Amino acid sequence: MPKIVDKKAKKAEILKAAMEVFARNGVVKTKMANIALAAGIGKGTIYEYFRSKEDIFEEAFNSVFSNMETALLEALKTVDDPEQKLKILIDVSLTCFIDSDYDFTGIIVDFWAEGVRNKDAEILKIIDLNKIYKDYRKLFSEILDEGIQKGIFKNIDTFSLSAILIAAFDGLTLQWILNRHLFDLRKVSDVLLDSLLNGIRK
């Protein structure tokens, strides 16, 4: 009897092995053969599931963001207070990256930097920062607008404040990636959000 392979499970194993190799070696130095070895399969077998390491990264990237979006929308449904919604938005986003089994945030930065260095349109299309920032600005703006409508927040330029918030969290995350011992990312994010709320409350 031929062995029945659970292709979905095998694909998940390859993804996990690939991200571990990316985290250890960096995306640039990683070869498909390295990933196949880590996954315990032949080099030819890996191409039955993925065309390239970029293809592997894209699936992992989309999976993480899809899971984060689902968790975020579900969590936001549980509260009505705009201040709590802002805390949830930040906490869920950080959790998806900080608590991953591998250094996903570092891998994203490494992969994106490689795309910028080589003007690689395929990589830059996968990590579409314009779309990511646009989606986050929309989420922040909607919550801030809700706070204004409910009389909790001052009448502020929510688009500009959303852009500033994203820039601040991006900067904190980059510092944390460069030196994980510099500060506790969650605690510093809480300080930033508390400072913001103190400034915009009526």
38-49 pLDDT tens trace: 999 988 889 999
Least confidently predicted of 15-24, 92-101, 134-143, 152-161: 92-101
Neighbours of 48 (CB within 10 A): 13
Neighbours of 165 (CB within 10 A): 21
pLDDT tens-place string over residues 144-178: 999 999 999 999 999 999 999 999 988 998 898 88
pLDDT surpassing 60 at residue 1: no
Give the CATH number for residue 190. 1.10.357.10
Q: What is the pLDDT of residue 180?
A: 86
- Count of residues making up the chain: 202
Q: What is the pLDDT of residue 53?
A: 86
For residues 62 and 42, state if they share a domain: no
Q: What is the pLDDT of residue 111?
A: 82
- Concatenating the DSSP letter of every residue in 46-94 gives HTTT-SSHHHHHHHHHHHHHHHHHHHHHHHHTT---HHHHHHHHHHHHH
3-state secondary structure of 168: helix
Residue type at 132 in one-letter notation: I
Q: What is the pLDDT of residue 113?
A: 81
Q: What is the pLDDT of residue 84?
A: 95
CA-based nearest residue to 98, from 164, 183, 25, 15: 183
Tokens of 200: 């915009």
Neighbours of 59 (CB within 10 A): 18
pLDDT surpassing 60 at residue 4: no
pLDDT tens-place string over residues 6-48: 678 888 888 888 888 888 888 888 899 999 999 999 888 899 9
For residues 124 and 76, state if they share a domain: yes
pLDDT surpassing 80 at residue 100: no
pLDDT surpassing 90 at residue 116: no
Q: What is the pLDDT of residue 35?
A: 92
Angle at 13 between CA 65 and CA 67, to 5 degrees: 15
Q: What is the pLDDT of residue 80?
A: 94
The answer to whether the CB of 28 falls within 8 A of the CB of 123 is: no
Distance of alpha carbon 68 from alpha carbon 96, whole angstroms: 6
Q: CA 176 from chain center: how many Å? A: 14
pLDDT surpassing 60 at residue 3: no
CA–CA distances in Å: residue 166 to residues 135, 138, 172, 199:
11, 11, 10, 17
Residue keyed to tokens 């300080």: 191
This prediction's pTM: 0.81
Q: What is the pLDDT of residue 36?
A: 92
pLDDT above 70 covers what percent of the chain? 96
Last residue of a domain, which of 9, 27, 50? Answer: 50
For residues 100 and 155, state if they share a domain: yes
Q: Which residues contact 136 (CB under 8 A, 6 or more apart)?
A: 162, 166
For residues 46 and 57, state if they share a domain: no
For residues 71 and 128, state if they share a domain: yes
For residues 133 and 41, state if they share a domain: no
Angle at 195 between CA 193 and CA 199, to 5 degrees: 115
pLDDT surpassing 90 at residue 194: yes
Task: State phi, psi for 19 to the nearest 5 degrees.
Answer: -65, -35
Predicted confidence band of residue 57 (pLDDT cuts 50, 70, 90) = confident
Tally the domains of the chain: 2
